[in-house]
């Protein structure tokens, strides 16, 4: 696989992008070293306590007696795997890529062994301490982190980030988010401020395939693609995304079906993720009172009442929905996928809207994913460059400090917030589509802001 900037614009985007990103790298983000030191001690105490508890269990003693060729190590997944699936002869619910029994969170949880929950808790706390807080301490210079943003790594010509990676700091899990983001601050007297494109990859995909149903979903603010899919998947007539339980199902539909399908996944994986991970329902037959809460019933009650009484029946249901999804809901999108695969097979390359050419050995999914992922990031990068230029020209006290694929992060002066919002909004929603005529759908951004002098964990929605 090989992508080259084919046009002058493509080259200059990377050239200017590198310079703008370098300014953000030099600016950096403040890190609270007193906090990281204290929190690491706190985490270590908890980890050690859990380890002591675990090592007193019969489960662990059995492990120690049966481990071969190694010193017993509770942090070794390969020892754990041999013990569970080799010694105790448990049936793995999941395999790794190389065919061994999996020891990831889902696999361990499904075994219903209380000791394993302790182990999972230890793993989580160690990850927070060793991957995030320790890295912040290691990489800081005079109390500031300077994460790198690379444009020469990702095969799609997206960016990557390292030392430390600024693009994978926990967000979804509340506890992990708080522990890690409480270490990160703006300069004294400033506020962290971020803007992200809403549904950018979906919008950019639409600029390639022009599926009318998708364009309607993007253009009509009263429509809701993920809500519609949730209603279909979970068979709900009166779907209301503002109801808390329906909101959860909408999240499930979005992350367990819609996005995986767009990336090229298929119904078997989707039904597994929807039922087990999102719905908390088991393989096999479904009994009353199982799964996540849904008003005054549970998901299994609700699905059983609608004739879906087992995991296998649910999989068949998802299979039918997948067929409907591509054949009836988004047929133009589906045809585009086929057409692009044919084009690649015939000519050996495909072109991105942003002037890059992808060639070399690619799979079917790559051919449709790369141009979308790449061009979506290029929208952010172009906006980043313009914002950087204006920031310098107008001598902003506010500084750009980083970027997360479809999001730009700033360290802002309180007096400049309104002006910065206006500027970013104009660049992203007006200037960008004017510059790149192939953007034939409206783009929107959302903003989040933290209070003055407070950490990245307390961000709130900001109306712009």
Can you tell me the distance from the alpha carbon of 64 to that of 438, in angstroms, rounded to the nearest whole number?
62
Q: How far is the CB of 288 from DNA (least distance, A)?
A: 29
Give the DSSP per-residue string, 312-370.
Answer: HHHHHHHHHHHHHIIIIISHHHHHHHHHHHHHHHHHSEEE-TTSEEEESS--HHHHHHH
63 versus 396: smaller Cβ distance to DNA: 63
397 versus 446: smaller Cβ distance to DNA: 446
What is the side-by-side order of every strand in the sheet holding 407-412? 399-403, 407-412, 191-197, 445-449, 460-462
DSSP-derived 3-state class of residue 73: coil
Can you tell me the distance from the alpha carbon of 205 to that of 368, in angstroms, rounded to the nearest whole number?
9
51 versus 245: smaller Cβ distance to DNA: 51
Of the CA atoms within 13 Å of residue 450, those in its CB half-sphere come to 25
Q: How far is the CB of 373 from DNA (least distance, A)?
A: 6
Q: How far is the CB of 389 from DNA (least distance, A)?
A: 23
The 8-class DSSP code of residue 130 comes to I
304 versus 362: smaller Cβ distance to DNA: 362
107 versus 421: smaller Cβ distance to DNA: 107
62 versus 75: smaller Cβ distance to DNA: 75
- State the Cα angle at 128 between 373 and 256, rounded to 5°: 40
Q: List interacting residues with DNA (CB under 7 A).
A: 69-70, 73, 75-79, 81, 96-98, 100, 102-107, 120, 123-124, 126-127, 130-131, 134-135, 138, 150, 153-156, 158, 160-165, 167-173, 176-177, 260, 263-266, 269-270, 273, 363, 365-366, 369-370, 373, 404-407
161 versus 298: smaller Cβ distance to DNA: 161
Q: How far is the CB of 235 from DNA (least distance, A)?
A: 22
Question: Smallest Cα–Cα separation from 387: which of 450, 429, 357?
Answer: 429
Q: How far is the CB of 195 from DNA (least distance, A)?
A: 12
Q: How far is the CB of 431 from DNA (least distance, A)?
A: 21
Q: How far is the CB of 237 from DNA (least distance, A)?
A: 28
Asked whether the beta carbons of 429 and 447 are under 8 A apart, the reply is no
204 versus 214: smaller Cβ distance to DNA: 204
Q: What are the Cα distances from residue 367, in Å, to 211, 242, 457?
A: 18, 37, 37
Q: How far is the CB of 345 from DNA (least distance, A)?
A: 13
In sequence order, the β-bridge partners of residue 298 are: 293
Length of the chain: 464
Contacts for 286 with CB less than 8 Å, ≥ 6 apart: 300, 303, 304, 308, 309, 310, 311
DSSP-derived 3-state class of residue 184: strand
44 versus 223: smaller Cβ distance to DNA: 44
Q: How far is the CB of 418 from DNA (least distance, A)?
A: 25
N-to-C CA span, the chain:
41
């Amino acid at each position: 696989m090989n992508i080259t900037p084919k046009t002058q614009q493509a080259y200059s985007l990377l050239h200017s992008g590198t310079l703008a990103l370098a300014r953000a790298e030099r600016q950096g983000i403040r890190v609270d070293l007193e906090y990281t030191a204290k929190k690491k001690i706190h985490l270590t105490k908890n980890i050690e306590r859990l380890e002591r508890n675990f090592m007193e269990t019969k489960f662990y003693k059995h492990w120690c007696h049966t481990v071969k060729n190694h010193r017993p190590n509770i942090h070794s997944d390969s020892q754990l795997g041999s013990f569970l699936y080799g010694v105790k002869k448990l049936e793995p619910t999941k395999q790794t890529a190389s065919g061994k029994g999996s020891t990831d969170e889902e696999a361990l949880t499904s075994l219903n062994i209380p000791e394993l929950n302790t182990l999972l808790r230890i793993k989580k706390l160690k990850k927070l301490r060793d991957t995030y807080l320790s890295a912040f301490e290691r990489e800081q210079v005079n109390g500031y982190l300077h994460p790198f943003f690379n444009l020469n790594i990702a095969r799609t010509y997206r960016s990557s980030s390292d030392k430390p990676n600024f693009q994978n700091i926990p967000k979804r899990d509340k506890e992990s988010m708080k522990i890690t983001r409480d270490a990160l601050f703006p300069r004294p007297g400033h506020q962290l401020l971020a803007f992200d494109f809403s549904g950018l990859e979906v919008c950019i995909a639409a600029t390639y395939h022009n599926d009318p149903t998708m364009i309607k979903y993007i253009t009509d603010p009263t429509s809701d693609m993920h809500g519609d899919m949730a209603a279909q998947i979970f068979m709900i007539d009166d779907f209301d995304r503002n109801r808390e339980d329906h909101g959860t199902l909408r999240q499930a539909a979005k992350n367990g079906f819609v996005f995986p399908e767009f990336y090229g996944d298929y119904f078997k994986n989707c039904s597994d993720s929807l039922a087990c991970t999102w719905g908390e329902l088991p393989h096999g037959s479904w009994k009353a009172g199982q799964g996540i809460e849904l008003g005054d019933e549970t998901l299994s009650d609700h699905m059983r009442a609608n004739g879906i009484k087992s995991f296998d029946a649910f999989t068949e249901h998802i299979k039918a929905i997948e067929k409907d999804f591509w054949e009836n809901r988004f047929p133009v999108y589906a045809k585009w996928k086929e057409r692009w695969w044919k084009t690649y097979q015939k000519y050996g390359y495909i072109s991105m809207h942003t002037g890059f050419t992808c060639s070399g050995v690619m799979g079917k999914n790559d051919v449709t994913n790369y141009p979308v992922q790449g061009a979506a990031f290029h929208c952010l990068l172009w906006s980043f460059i313009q914002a950087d230029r204006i920031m310098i020209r107008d001598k902003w006290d506010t500084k750009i400090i980083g970027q997360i694929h479809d999001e730009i992060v700033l360290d802002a002066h309180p007096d400049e917030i309104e002006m910065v919002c206006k500027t970013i909004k104009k660049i992203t929603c007006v200037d960008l589509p004017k510059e790149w005529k192939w953007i034939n759908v409206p783009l929107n951004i959302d903003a989040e802001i933290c209070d003055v002098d407070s950490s990245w964990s307390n961000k709130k929605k900001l109306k712009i």
